[in-house]
């Protein structure tokens, strides 16, 4: 099964590059990108999982309503994107349920940062998708962690997909690899694992090449905006041409039990 997921959040990433961006623009950019994503999913009849912060959900209720109405899954991306306390695990779960009327089964930590497995279980999550099981200097060194899903206590751990040789398949790879090569890696990984779990962000569908405004290096802004929309449209069409089934992460996890 192909598991596409999108981390919808206040777009605060420019702060990492010493750039200022207003809160209103953070929400506006992520909202515009989310609309593009939802339209593409509808076009290709693909279901996906959206990991939302509470802050974004509060400020973009129309996006949460579309996620619900169009049969996608809503999961927790904590309360705030750039600050975290353990209490946010339960509080974000409860608030997202209140705002959406949907059950919240899944969790993903912003930036795939470490999070207490015990606290995730205590908050009542069914699955955790907060691990990138690869080596990215300065960010992750998770070569010791399973490439594929495993159980820890009562929680299913679902790492982001990497190729059999642990080449990451997350959003940066999608932007920087030739699309034909990315599809080749996806096919190899799917044949090996029987599923694919990859994630993206709505702000990738906005042109990020203005370095004065955003401060992003070329490997972050490459193929953003219209180019990203075209690439994702192509990728979703290819998924269907391969006859790969798709679904939400929770629908996949349920089948594992």
In 3D space, the residue among 128, 100, 134, 177 whose CA is nearest the CA of residue 5 turns out to be 128
Split at pLDDT 50, 70, 90, the class of 137 is confident
Closest to 53 (Cα-Cα) out of 103, 14, 11: 11
Q: Give the number of domains in the chain.
A: 1
Dihedral angle of Cα 116, 78, 196, 159, to the nearest 10 degrees:
-10
CATH number at residue 12: 3.20.20.370
Nearest one of 44, 35, 103, 97 to 66, comparing CA atoms: 35
**Mean pLDDT along residues 19-38:** 98
What confidence tier does 140 reach under pLDDT thresholds 50, 70, 90?
confident
pLDDT at position 7, please? 98
The pLDDT assigned to 50 comes to 98
Q: CA 127 from chain center: how many Å?
A: 14
Q: Tens digit of pLDDT for each residue in 85-109?
A: 999 999 999 999 999 999 999 999 9
Alpha-helical (H) ranges within 60-202 are 61-69, 87-100, 117-122, 171-176, 179-193
Residues 31-49, buried b or exposed e (16+ Cβ, 10 A)? Answer: bebbbbbbebbeebebbbb
Going by C-alpha positions, the residue among 201, 169, 209 that lies closest to residue 36 is: 201
User: Residue 4 and residue 200: Cα distance in Å, rounded?
Assistant: 8
Residue 6 belongs to what domain range?
2-256
Tens of pLDDT along 57-69?
999 999 999 999 9
Please write the tens of the pLDDT for every residue from 185-243: 999 999 999 999 999 999 999 999 999 999 999 999 999 999 999 999 999 999 999 99
């Amino acid at each position: 099964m192909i598991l596409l997921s999108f981390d919808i959040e206040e777009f605060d990433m420019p702060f990492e590059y010493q750039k200022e961006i207003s809160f209103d623009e953070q929400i506006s950019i992520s909202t515009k990108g989310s609309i593009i994503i939802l339209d593409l999913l509808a076009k290709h009849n693909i279901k996906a999982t959206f990991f939302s912060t509470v802050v974004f959900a509060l400020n973009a209720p129309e996006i949460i309503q579309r996620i619900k109405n169009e049969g996608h899954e809503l999961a927790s991306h904590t309360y705030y994107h750039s600050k975290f306390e353990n209490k946010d695990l339960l509080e974000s779960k409860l608030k997202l349920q209140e705002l959406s009327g949907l059950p919240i089964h899944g969790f993903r930590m912003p930036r795939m940062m470490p999070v207490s497995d015990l606290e995730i279980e205590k908050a009542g999550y069914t699955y955790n998708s907060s691990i990138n099981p690869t080596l990215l200097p300065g960010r992750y060194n998770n070569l010791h962690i399973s490439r594929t899903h495993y159980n820890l206590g009562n929680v299913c751990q679902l790492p982001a997909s990497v190729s059999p040789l642990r080449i990451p398949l997350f959003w940066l790879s999608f932007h920087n690899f030739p699309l034909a090569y990315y599809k080749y890696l996806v096919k190899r990984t799917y044949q090996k694992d029987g599923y694919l779990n990859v994630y993206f962000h709505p702000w990738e569908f906005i042109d990020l090449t203005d370095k004065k405004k955003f401060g992003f290096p070329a490997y972050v802004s490459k193929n953003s905006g219209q180019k990203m929309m075209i690439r994702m449209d192509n990728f979703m069409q290819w998924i269907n041409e391969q006859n790969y089934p798709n679904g939400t992460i929770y629908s996949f996890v349920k089948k594992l039990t």
